[in-house]
Amino acid sequence: MKVLAAWSLWPTAPASPGADFCAQDLAPLEERFVPQRPRRVGRHARLALIGASACVSMSPDGIPGSRTGIYLGSGIGNGAEEGLVAEQVIGLTSGLAQGPASPVHFANSVSNSATFYAARVTGARGPNMVVSQEETSFEGALMMADLALRTGEVDRALVGGVDEYLPDREGLVLRIGMPGNTVLGEGSGWLLVGRDEHETSGEILETILLAGESRGGHGPGAAFDVIAANVARLRCAGEPVTIFPGLRVDAIASALLASRIPGAKVTPYLDRCGVFETASALAIAEVYGPGALPGLYLHVTLCRLGVAAVLFRRNPAYVMEQPACG
């Protein structure tokens, strides 16, 4: 998969040490990228609309609408809208509320409402899909987009990772199985990818999901060996490697992985955006933004079923100058 454009929304700095991260005021971004935003959409859809529209705007050639699909990964989806509908229905059945659930909230609670709106705004009229696989939701969306590109179903794919911060902090922490003092966050990260030979800023090389290394089970050593072997196979001579440690990849696990990849540098990022299930989308999209250095990049997450890794490269020009690629 070739990366044609990228955009990511990083939350503003926390108001106080240890505070959770929430994205900045969305109105200025909507005015810039989504001047005709659909009315009465929830925050999750707003985050998706801004990200998808901004990513398309970064592509000088735009998108071929009928040949562009949207693949959105989201761990919790539009949970706020679903919660409102549930409260209204429960209130109605218990006699505490009058009338049925709001049709606006009900419509926005549908799992693919965000991608429906994104398709309307961007003009992407190809396949439209939401992937929800907990901490590997963005990785799953990448794999679905790659399959669609390989089979010729689409020529372009907008691949996003979006999760919103919900007021039910305790529920969020329990859902992802992290300590109670974990700094949570939210964000929207997007890639426009294709399978053609247009000049690009990089490529997604592999998305690897390795089962059998579950939470609380054996260490990830065997999976890290497999990942390191793939890095060695695809690495160019002298090419720098940067590791992004995702969810549950602490300093010890990061060092363990780095020890298997000579010269690899570990760059933490969750302290900038907080913990949420599709944070990997922000880290990966940022590599294709301005200022990122050439090289091979690796994002790794320890998830419920095992280890998820995405191996990607910035600047194909660097690769072409290195004849000793694996």
- pLDDT (0 to 100) of residue 320: 33
DSSP string for residues in 166-201: -S-HHHHHHHHT--TT--B--EEEEEEEESS-S--S
Topology of the domain covering 202-320? Peroxisomal Thiolase; Chain A, domain 1 (3.40.47)
pLDDT for 197-207, tens place per residue?
Answer: 655 557 899 89
- The contacts of residue 14 (CB under 8 Å, 6+ apart) are 20, 21, 183
What is the pTM assigned to this prediction?
0.87
Among the listed residues 287, 294, 1, the one whose alpha carbon sits nearest the alpha carbon of residue 159: 1
Share of residues in the chain with pLDDT > 90 (%): 55
Cβ atoms of 322 and 303 closer than 8 Å: no
Calculate mean pLDDT across residues 179-198: 87
pLDDT for 6-57, tens place per residue?
Answer: 999 998 877 777 789 988 889 999 999 998 877 778 889 999 999 999 999 9
pLDDT for 130-161, tens place per residue?
Answer: 999 889 999 999 999 999 999 999 999 999 99
Burial bucket for residue 173 (CB in 10 Å: 0-12, 13-18, 19+):
middle
Pinpoint the residues of the chain covered by CATH 3.40.47.10.
Answer: 2-194, 202-320
- The contacts of residue 223 (CB under 8 Å, 6+ apart) are 210, 212, 213, 306, 307
Topology of the domain covering 2-194? Peroxisomal Thiolase; Chain A, domain 1 (3.40.47)
State the DSSP code for 275.
Answer: B
